[in-house]
Structure 1
């Protein structure tokens, strides 16, 4: 798996660039939309939740009109990263049938390209978040340097599931529709709109079983609260994510032999 990444790294970079630029091809503002879209969404979140609903995070007594919007935006970025990979994976082979039928092509890098494109947009959104945090609070927490450590387990997990869904999407066309619904369920069953302690104790284990929950909480710690991440928890998460990634890669390589026949 790692050997494939290293051997095709230049191809991955080139195709990722084409994927990102192609998404905005023909638009007047082009790639600038990748910045203005999250900026606009953060502005809307700030207005709606701080002015209209006057929302507070959990039982916090701190009167901060932007706190809820920033905390919400962190959760939306983490969910958006995973959801984009999951939603695009079932169709990634179907939309590149020419690579399956006509040429010898490393099909296993297609989910990697989808992940890299999703990561690019998430990084732009995180840049918008940090700029907004600095404007509102006049500082940026030094613990932001641990963000790559927080993101890494989620990226590994997303890639493993992406390989699995990319393969299943060839044989079972309903997978794409199912994944779209599940990604929406993941958003509402993770602490995107509310903190974990807002739930009754009997429901918290179910929320924490969501793979997004731990990452969202850790991202908020290092980005918003200025706390150190839970290193032991991240290590355990990474080990499980690597096992899932290896399983997904093995499944993809095993089933790719039948892609041409089905397509």
Structure 2
């Protein structure tokens, strides 16, 4: 029986070893989403542009919403909200698809030489591509509505790194569970919907009473959403201490997810 390494170094080594396959698979994944449509890849630009326009109109002009302690800029609430949604959408897209990612690639399971562990990473790269397009739309909107973005926006990749590790760990776990427990794929969308409302996307964490604020930070999405909003919009330096702890937590999550996936993948072919 083939042995699959659970060494933490293998998490990175397998991705580097199969980088060309990952690159080709990601390209196919991104282009395949728009295959057959007249506008093709342009939809990846127009979708976030349309949503940002809707948020700006509804929250700024209809509800006249203002972020807590914010300025009187009409587009402020929409920009702050959309910054949080960029993070959440990357997370939700990966997590919602993770339980069915092996089930939808059954032909690869029978092939001993195919590295199944890269499938969640391909899914993540596809989500990051669309997240990057959304970020580009956000930056253009910021320039039009307010002016030059703060230099702290350069810290965005640093803040997203722990989120990437968190997503990979959870994706490996859910991809394995999805093979053995088909209900996982049906229920995970409900879980991500709940996460959307218990994450500080539509409201600042500071708006909650302190007792609930502490509970909010048990949500692993809360720190990254707050930090992304701080560096992109408010020009506040990231909390490096918080990021360090968050990085350690997500590294452990990534390895646990990888460990579980490698230990359980031997039974995929029998179940499928």
TM over 0.5: yes
Q: 1:15 aligns with which of 25, 39, 43?
A: 25
2:143 is matched with which residue: 115, 125, 134? Answer: 134
How much does 1:104 deviate? 2.3
Q: Which residue of 1 aligns with 2:5?
A: none
1:73 corresponds to: 82
**SS of match in other structure, 1:108:** helix
Report the counterpart of residue 248 of structure 1 in structure 2: 257
Q: Deviations over 1:193-250 (max 9, x none)?
A: 0001111222111111111111011001110011111111111101110111011001
Matches of 1:200 and 1:238 in 2, distance apart? 27
Question: Counterpart in 1 of 2:7?
Answer: none
**Which of 56, 67, 81 is 2:66 aligned to?**
56
Partner of 1:92: 101
Structure 1 unaligned runs (5+)?
none
**How far apart, in 2, do the equivalents of 1:74 and 1:90 lie?**
27
Q: Shift of residue 140 of structure 1?
A: 1.3
Instruction: Confirm whether residue 238 of structure 1 aligns to residue 247 of structure 2.
Output: yes
Question: 1:243 and 1:202 mapped to 2: Cα distance?
Answer: 27
Q: Are 1:111 and 2:120 counterparts?
A: yes
The residue number in structure 2 matching 1:2 is 12
Structure 1 residues 103 and 254: alpha-carbon distance in aligned structure 2, compared to 1, 3 A threshold: closer
List gaps (5 residues or longer) in structure 2.
Answer: 1-10
> 2: CA distance between counterparts of 1:206 and 1:13?
39
Q: Which residue of 1 aligns with 2:44?
A: 34
Q: CA RMSD in A?
A: 0.9
* 1:170 counterpart = 2:170: no
Question: TM-score, normalising length from structure 2?
Answer: 0.95
Instruction: Write the mapping of 1:183-222 to structure 2, written as runs, cut at 5 A.
Output: 183-222=192-231
- Deviation at 1:102? 4.1
Inter-partner Cα distance in structure 2 for 1:71 and 1:8: 38
